[in-house]
Amino acid sequence: IHNPNAPPAVAPLSVAELSRQIAAGTAPRVIDVRPPAGRAAAAFPGAHDVLDEDSHDRLAALPKDTPLAFLCHHGRSSRQAAEHFRGLGFTAVFNVEGGLDAWATEIDASVPRY
């Protein structure tokens, strides 16, 4: 059943488009949902937030029209996080398709793959 009050669906965001938006200064706020070990193995090169127990409430308190792009290793955990924030009422939620692995292969070969 369609709920007309539900926020828009989580939108896919390619690493190529994210890279273009970062360069243009129009990118959504990037939120890395990988565990600490993943972030230590390969950092996302750019301004971003991390999602953990300490930051969840702070991020959830952002204005609901703040564009958010969720990033993980391959794009699965980030989709779950994106759906969670959509459920909190955020209206511009993106999942970075392919995650940091796609970023390393398509955008920045200096980012370690793991």
Q: CA 53, 55, 60 angle in degrees (round to 5)?
A: 105
Across 50-72, b (16+ Cβ under 10 Å) vs e yields bbeeeeeeebeeeeeeebbbbbb
Question: Catalytic: 72?
Answer: yes
Q: Of 10, 30, 72, 100, which residue is the catalytic one?
A: 72
Catalytic residue list: 72
